[in-house]
């Protein structure tokens, strides 16, 4: 069946209506971990909780259910997407494939004994089973990193690299280039603005970390993708780290005393900015991308709440402050 934008957006609007509200988060903050999993079972996470409930419980059950639900959500969105929207949705959600590959390579290089299925999203686009990956060498895994529907040759970007740090950096750069090329082909002004903001916030986080470590601008510049942005150029020429921090806060509206706090706040602002796309182009591509971002935010919110419960953090105000609300 040929699916059009109104069909796709109607389905996405129905999904959007089922996202957790501010009041529901407040109720979750009052619950224990097992109560949260039971609450999740009553809603959009019922399939995953029931599927995994016989083998896992507590925070472990919730963590796995969140990963599986994200995978199921992405796969379903691809199925209901219109013909011209499908490659764009696949391109945006490729971020989760890349995250998986980065985690797999890190896992292989470190010789970790942790089960692979515990650390990756079960996204259908990686056509390798956990048992198969376990038998492969680091180099063999690296050689599988390719996306046939992408205009970017990811293998060319990582050819000859051996350290996970170098490979991860090149994969991130390749993905940024991937997004930029895809957005240039769409007629959606909002999606183009969305991608521009995504890449800007990515560069700002890289700038902060590298400036803090005292790297020269000539070493930072090759890591960035928004060199045509005057704000990035201004930061490149700034040598005082405190001034860099102040300017990044001004650009993003983020807050934080430490680098870690500031990076987390920048990520919150990125998600908040991206969520604004949900309220524009009611029959456009940005509605779908906005929903994916909102779903990503919800999953991270739930993960944060459960981790806080597991580690004994009881300051509800602090947890609620860190939630990204849709």
Largest CA distance in the chain: 58
The string of pLDDT tens digits covering residues 130-173 is 778 888 999 999 999 998 889 999 999 999 998 998 999 999 99
Q: 127: exposed, middle or buried (C-beta count within 10 Å: 0-12, 13-18, 19+)?
A: exposed
Whole-Å CA distances, 117 to 61, 72, 128, 180: 13, 15, 12, 31
Token pair in block for residue 289: 């991308």
For residues 44 and 114, which has the higher predicted lDDT (pLDDT)? 44
Nearest Cα to Cα of residue 46 among 38, 57, 54, 35: 38
Token pair in block for residue 116: 């692979």
In this prediction, residue 278 carries a pLDDT of 58
Q: DSSP string of 41-87?
A: HTTTTHHHHHHHTTT--HHHHHHHHHHHHHHHHHHHHHHHS-TTTHH
Can you tell me the distance from the alpha carbon of 32 to that of 305, in angstroms, rounded to the nearest whole number? 10
Cite the DSSP H helix spans in 83-227: 86-110, 130-135, 138-142, 154-158, 164-184, 189-212, 217-220
Question: Looking at residue 114, what DSSP letter applies?
Answer: S
In this prediction, residue 130 carries a pLDDT of 74
Can you tell me the distance from the alpha carbon of 24 to that of 288, in angstroms, rounded to the nearest whole number? 23
The string of pLDDT tens digits covering residues 92-132 is 889 888 998 999 999 998 888 887 777 777 665 666 677 78
Percentage above 70 pLDDT, the chain: 94
**Mean per-residue pLDDT of the chain:** 87
Can you tell me the distance from the alpha carbon of 315 to that of 1, in angstroms, rounded to the nearest whole number? 50
The string of pLDDT tens digits covering residues 198-248 is 899 999 999 999 999 999 999 999 889 888 899 999 999 998 999 999 999
User: Do 220 and 238 meet the contact criterion of CB atoms below 8 Å apart?
Assistant: no
Can you tell me the distance from the alpha carbon of 34 to that of 30, in angstroms, rounded to the nearest whole number? 12
């Amino acid at each position: 069946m040929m699916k059009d934008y109104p069909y796709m957006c109607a389905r996405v609007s129905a999904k959007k209506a089922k996202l957790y509200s501010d009041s529901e988060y407040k109720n979750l903050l009052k619950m224990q971990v097992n109560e949260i999993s039971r609450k999740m079972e009553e809603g959009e996470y019922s399939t995953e909780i029931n599927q995994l409930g016989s083998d896992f419980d507590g925070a472990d059950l919730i963590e796995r259910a969140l990963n599986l639900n994200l995978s199921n959500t992405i796969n379903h969105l691809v199925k209901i997407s219109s013909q011209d929207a499908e490659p764009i949705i696949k391109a945006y959600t490729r971020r989760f494939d890349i995250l998986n590959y980065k985690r797999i390579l890190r896992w292989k290089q470190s010789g970790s004994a942790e089960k692979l299925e515990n650390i990756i999203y079960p996204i259908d686009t990686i056509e390798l089973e956990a048992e198969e990956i376990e038998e492969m060498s680091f180099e063999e895994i690296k050689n599988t990193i390719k996306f046939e529907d992408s205009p970017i040759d990811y293998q060319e970007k990582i050819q000859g690299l051996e350290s996970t740090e170098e490979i991860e950096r090149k994969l991130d750069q390749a993905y940024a280039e991937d997004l930029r090329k895809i957005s240039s082909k769409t007629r959606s002004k909002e999606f183009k603005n969305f991608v521009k903001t995504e890449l800007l916030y990515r560069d700002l986080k890289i700038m902060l970390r590298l400036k803090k470590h005292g790297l020269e601008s000539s070493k930072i510049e090759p890591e960035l993708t928004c060199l045509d942005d005057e704000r990035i150029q201004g930061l490149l020429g700034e040598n005082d780290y405190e001034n860099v921090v102040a300017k990044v806060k001004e650009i993003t509206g983020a807050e934080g005393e430490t680098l870690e706090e500031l990076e987390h706040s920048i990520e919150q602002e990125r998600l908040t900015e991206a969520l604004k796309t949900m309220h524009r182009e009611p029959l456009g591509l940005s509605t779908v991308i906005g929903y994916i971002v909102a779903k990503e935010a919800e999953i991270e919110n739930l993960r944060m709440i459960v981790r806080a419960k597991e580690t004994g953090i009881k300051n509800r105000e602090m947890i609620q402050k860190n939630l990204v609300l849709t």
